[in-house]
Each structure stands twice: as structure tokens, then as C-alpha cells.
Amino acid sequence: MQRRTFLKGSLIGAAVTAVPLDALLAGGASAAAPTDPVTSLSALQSAIDKAVPGDRIVLANGTYTVPAGGAIKVTGRHGTTTAPITIVAQSRGGAVLRGERSFVFDDSSNITVSGFSLRQSGTLTIPVNSTGIRLTRNDFQFAEVTPVDWVLVEGDDAKLDRNHFHDKTTEGIFVVIDGPGTTEIAQRTQILRNYFSDHSYAGANGGESIRLGVSSRALSDADAKVEYNLFERCDGDPEAISVKSSGNTVRYNTIRSSRGGIVLRHGNGTTVDGNYLIGGKEGIRLYGNDHLIVNNYLADLTVRALVIGSGTTRDHTAGETTDERRGNDACDRAVIVHNTLRNNKSSLSGETRTYEPRDVVVADNLLVGDSGSLVAMGATTNFTWQSNILWGAATAGTIPASGYTRVDPRLAASSDGVYRLAAGSPAIDAATLTGTSVPEDIDGHARGAARDIGADEYSTLAPTRRPLTPADVGPNAA
């Protein structure tokens, strides 16, 4: 399909640092940056109304206010997976959209919106009847007239990548994944290389960075991927990533200096792999069944590093009441393997609700600390504790003696601040758990047949994955 670029009028608006259009569209075809974009909301709307697969519509730099009750409507427009319809700002961040709403999607598919500064006051929704919608390289800082969630995803195959969500002061969530009806959830959402920062809402609940589902949708598989995102100063809720659905992957993210952590609040069968949680308050907390918690690095957390949750119910079921569904589902059959917990106020702990966690495997983890107890579990049933290493002045706590060795793991600080295994560490080749595939470590190094205890597999090679920085994510990321 041949691409068309809509050009009209002359360049207007405030000057910003220009970025070539082909650089703006990650993964898109290269094209010369246009010199004559559309220059008004009416011209933009007209171009959208005529768009066909492969078209690229460019809005000139400037500030545009959508009139009260109005919107930029994307209705009945359908690109293809290989030739999406693309709506872009002339330069990254150069087109600012104000007003109650910006883009409103309806019965559309394979649409890309890229490079805008979004300053609207109402939620941007990807509805159930719009699929394959991509929001990329945008800057989100809504005008919070009232508390509001910023982006709501209900349609399948949405992709949110390389955006910056920042400076939220009221109740509400940066990104919510929802779905049709009351029990289903949007399928295959990708949340990739975004920068979430400075959510300062001080309430006890309702200020997550990402909420992946809701209690009524907990038993539905979303198959979402939340990966390579950076969270800094995300203090709006104890849950920066709140998972309330099943069958998801949360991997390779960095949460730094934040109140919130990763919480599997409702649902089953989610993998939490290769995340860095550093210098904040909460780490990883899990409820529900059959989760895999692997290769995570949790350090310098001032509240709780890893919590294996107890429940007000044993398992959520399709026939339970709304109040029952909102309760905590005891953690059963989780596998917690190859994690490193270092210098946290509370390393591995449990809770005291009616239903204790059962049949959990805790193996090949490295726990280091100098205060309190490294393990402080309440009641448990049929736990497997295997080949963990504990070290430091902290007591072992409630872990059985057969489940650990107390020995100096010889951790050494790397240039990125992460403590990794040094040569000669007793953790090298000491892992014993079988039956769970862990082909790589947190750094992206192959583990091989003889695996090391903890998140790091000793190697003289440079890591291919490290804690993320603002340069790795957001609108200017590769």
C-alpha cells in the first residue's frame, strides 16, 4: 500500500527541538520529514476522515485547544498491521493538545498516534470496538480538573510504548487495562519502554501507575506484557504495577525510589521476571495461584521486599459475590526462584489472614541483610524451601534449617550500583531446583546447565540488561 502524507498550509506554532519524522515512528518505514503539515484541528479532522491504510497525517507544531464537547474523532478508520494509519506531531512533543478530550476512537483499527504533548482533562480511551491502537512517543501530563484515569484500554492488541506519564497529583491511574462486559479483559496489551514518574497522590489507594485489570476480571487471561518500563517517584499507591487479571508477564522493568511495587493482587498464572526494585518502599507481593517469580533484584526497600500473601479466601471462583472477589486470594503453588534480596527492612514475609499460602516453592534465592529476620512467614502448608543462601547479621527467621545455607555469597558492587556475584562465590553452580526453566539471568546472560543461586549468573561479560535510566525509555528512547 502506497503511503500518503497530508500536507496543507504553512508551519506555525511554538518552536521546539525538531526531530525527523522517520525517527519519530519507531519501527516504521523511513520517509523524508514533511515541510508543510496540516495547521488546524479542522484540517486534521478532514485528513483523518479520508485516511486509508499507509497514510501518515502530520500536525504542525503549536498549541491546539479542542473545544468543549468536541474531540479529534477517529471513526471507522482502518489501517493494517503492516500499513497503519499514522497521526503524528511535526516534531516530538511539538504539537500540544488541550481541552477536555483529544483523540476519540470508534470502530477503528491499526491506528498509530505519535509525538503529541497531551494536556487534556478527560480520559483517553481505547474502546472495545477499536483494536491495534498504538500510542507511542507521546508526553502525558493531563490538566487535572477532577481526579481521572489518564489512559483506559478496553480494545485488544493495544500498544503503549515510549511515552512519558508524569506529574500526577490527584487520585487516578496513569494506565488502566479493562475490557468488554464485566468479566472479560482486553487481550495482548503491550506496555513497553514507557517512563512513569512523579505520581504524588498521597491517598491510601487509587493512585497506581498501571492497573492491569480489576477484581471482577481477575480470572480472565489478558496475555499482557509490561516490560522495559521505568518507574521513578511513583508514590500514588503501594502498587505501582497492580495486576488484577491472569496470564500476564511483567519483566525487565525498573522501579526506583517509589512507594509502589509490583503486586499480583488478583488472578493466576503471571510471570514476574528480571525486574529491579531499588531504593523505594514496596517490592513484590503476590496472591492467587501458579505464579512464577524469577530473577528479580530487590534492594534497599524500606517496607517489604517480598510478601507471600495469605487470603480471606482460598481461591477466587466464577460464582463468588462481588465482596468475596474483592478479598485476598491466598497464594498457592507459586514458584519463587533465583531472586536476590539485599539490604531490605523486611526481606521475605507472610501475612495473618484466615487462609495460609500453600504448596509454594522457594528455591535458589539469595537473601542478605543486617537487621531483623530474613524470613518472617506466618502459617504455611507444604512449602518447599531449597538451596537458598542467607547472609548478614539478620537472623534466619522462620525458614527451616534444611532450606538454606548461611555463607557469604561474595557480592560486589558494579558500576550501575547492582551487587553481583564475585569470582569464587559459593553461589556459583549451586542451584538445585529442577522442573522450572530459567534459561537466562537478570542481566540477560545464559544460565546453562549448572545454575547460580540468586538473580545473577556469574559472568565476565557485560550485562545486556541493566537497571533502566530515563535515557532508555520515554519519547526519545531507541
Give the domain ranges of the chain: 162-472
Q: What grid cell was written down for 454?
A: 540468586
Q: How many helices (H) and strands (E) does the chain have?
A: 3, 43
pLDDT at 132 over 80: yes
pLDDT interval class at 215 (50, 70, 90): very high
Q: What is the distance of C-alpha 41 from the center of its chain?
A: 33
- Look at residue 7 in the predicted model and tell me its pLDDT: 44
Cβ neighbours, 10 Å, residue 77 = 23
Q: Which residues touch 50 (CB under 8 Å, ≥6 apart)?
A: none
Q: What phi and psi, each to the nearest 5 degrees, are found at residue 46?
A: -60, -40
> pLDDT: is 23 or 425 the higher one?
425
pLDDT interval class at 422 (50, 70, 90): very high
pLDDT at 33 over 50: no
- Look at residue 36 in the predicted model and tell me its pLDDT: 73
**What does the DSSP 8-state code read for residue 330?**
P
What secondary structure does DSSP assign to 182-248, as a single string?
TT----S-EEES-EEEEE---SSSS--SEEEE-GGGTTSB---EEES-EEEEE-SSSEEEEEESBS-
pLDDT interval class at 400 (50, 70, 90): very high
CATH of range 162-472; options 3.40.50.300, 2.102.10.10, 2.160.20.10, 3.40.50.2300: 2.160.20.10
pLDDT interval class at 27 (50, 70, 90): very low
- Look at residue 148 in the predicted model and tell me its pLDDT: 96
- Look at residue 227 in the predicted model and tell me its pLDDT: 98
The CA–CA distances, whole Å, from 152 to 108, 185, 231 equal: 16, 12, 19
377 within 8 A of 400, measured Cβ to Cβ: no
> How do residues 315-367 score in pLDDT, each as one tens digit?
999 989 989 999 999 999 999 999 999 999 999 999 999 999 999 999 999 99
- Look at residue 188 in the predicted model and tell me its pLDDT: 98
pLDDT interval class at 5 (50, 70, 90): low
Report the phi/psi class of residue 432: left, alpha or beta, with left for phi > 0 and alpha for psi in -120 to 50.
alpha
- Look at residue 34 in the predicted model and tell me its pLDDT: 45
The CA–CA distances, whole Å, from 412 to 207, 387, 409, 424, 451 equal: 36, 21, 9, 12, 19
pLDDT at 119 over 60: yes
- Look at residue 21 in the predicted model and tell me its pLDDT: 41
pLDDT at 253 over 70: yes
Paired with 136 in beta bridges are: 114, 161
How much is the average pLDDT of 102-109?
A: 98
Range in 9-13, 55-59, 133-137 the model is least confident about: 9-13
Q: Which of 386, 391, 385 is nearest to 421 (CA)?
A: 391
Q: Where are the alpha helices (DSSP H) in 332-477?
A: none
Q: Residue 103: exposed, middle, or buried by beta-carbon count in 10 A (0-12, 13-18, 19+)?
A: buried
How much is the average pLDDT of 135-144?
A: 97
> How do residues 173-209 score in pLDDT, each as one tens digit?
999 999 999 999 999 999 999 999 999 999 999 999 9
Cβ neighbours, 10 Å, residue 42 = 9
Task: Give Dmax (Cα) for the chain.
Answer: 76
Q: Where are the alpha helices (DSSP H) in 394-457?
A: none
Strands 419-421 and 411-413: antiparallel
